[in-house]
Structure 1
Amino acid sequence: MSKEVNPRLKEWQDKYHGKDISQEYVHAQSYNMDKVGQTVRLESQQFVGFWRRTFAYIVDSILLSLFFYIFSMEGFWPTFLIGAIYYTTLTSSSIQGTIGKVLIGAKVTDKHGNQISFGHSVGRFFAYFLSGIILFLGFIMVAFNGKKQGLHDLICQTYVINKN
């Protein structure tokens, strides 16, 4: 009677049989999972599409507009700084997204499916400008990209996926 072997385990064993896997093991352990698990984890997620992300953006815009109105904030720099703090802090926090993304049940991750750092979030925020400056084509490409990435996501190697 033969015992069935998990296909992913078999793939791991076949790939690294007889090789020095110490570097791969260290890399995989830094993410608390094996390399095969990493790939499957991100690819098995459902990526959030254009309309849900647009709805999240509208919610965030309304919230920020209300904040600016209540506190009588005007001018480019004050609103820019508050917007930057809002997007970068929440996206890099444990909730992994703005209030709009939380409402639609989405989160922002890096290419391994992990929470992004504050620095990564700042880079993503500035990449939004590239997405918008070319007639918003960088945002519209979310609708046509297989992994639902905008230009800012491609530049920063981030994904917006459903929260489990």
Structure 2
Amino acid sequence: MNEYQEYSNDRKEEPSFRYAGFWMRFWAYLLDLVVVGSIVRMLIKPVFRMQDFSLSESSMFAPASIASALIFYFYFVLMTKYLNQTLGKMVFGLKVVDLKSNQMTWGTILFREWIGRFISSTIIIGYIIIAFLPKKQGLHDLFTDTSVIHVER
């Protein structure tokens, strides 16, 4: 039983979390970008070189760009689904929680990590609002009623 379930069994109120602010989430995200970049450099680039695919093409529809994007999104989706945190969030003691239920569904995670993240990155204010909202939610969190919290150690 997780901390949310224990709390919700005792009370019917929303649990109180210590929400992670903009800078903590920013540093965790930068670390995740290093991890994803390393995975791409270790997996995609050598395979593409062996197959004589172009790595210098800069189009977003180039095979290397598509493979890199898939690694990026699968990393965030799978880590969030199975661990509720990415490696960057683990290092900084953060995790993603659904504010309405005990467990995040595939739909919630796919929308948050794929569609919501795309929208937030296109409209930069989608990330900046984290600094100003009470539950420290980005646009992608608001769409899915999730937030990032500090894990009690």
Q: Which one has the largest radius of gyration? A: 1
SS in 2 for 1:112: coil
How many pairs are equivalent? 129
Which stretch shifts more, 121-130 or 64-73? 64-73
CA contact (8 A) 2:100 2:145 kept: no
Displaced runs of 4+ in structure 1, greater than 3 A? Answer: 31-38
Q: Provide, for residues 20-41 of structure 1, a one-character-per-residue CA deviation record: whole Å limited to 9, x for no partner.
A: xxxxxxxxxxx563483441x2
SS in 2 for 1:119: helix
SS in 2 for 1:161: strand
Computed over aligned residues only, the root mean square deviation of the Cα atoms, in angstroms, reads 1.8
Query: Which 5+ residue runs of structure 1 have no aligned equivalent?
Result: 1-30
Q: TM-score with structure 1 length normalisation?
A: 0.72
**Match for 2:11: what amino acid?**
V
* Equivalent residue number for residue 23 of structure 2: 51
CA contact (8 A) 1:108 1:116 kept: no
* Equivalent residue number for residue 135 of structure 2: 147
CA contact (8 A) 1:89 1:118 kept: no
* Equivalent residue number for residue 69 of structure 1: 41
Q: Structure 1 residue 163: deviation in Å?
A: 1.2
* Equivalent residue number for residue 124 of structure 1: 112
Q: TM-score with structure 2 length normalisation?
A: 0.77
CA distance in 1, matches of 2:101, 2:18: 12
* Equivalent residue number for residue 87 of structure 1: 76
Query: Which 5+ residue runs of structure 2 have no aligned equivalent?
Result: 49-54, 56-63
SS in 2 for 1:69: helix
Change (3 A) 1:35 1:151: farther
Q: Which has the higher contact order (CA 8 A, sep 6+)?
A: 2
Q: Among the aligned pairs, what percent are the same residue?
A: 32
**Match for 2:149: what amino acid?**
I
Q: Structure 1 residue 117: deviation in Å?
A: 2.1
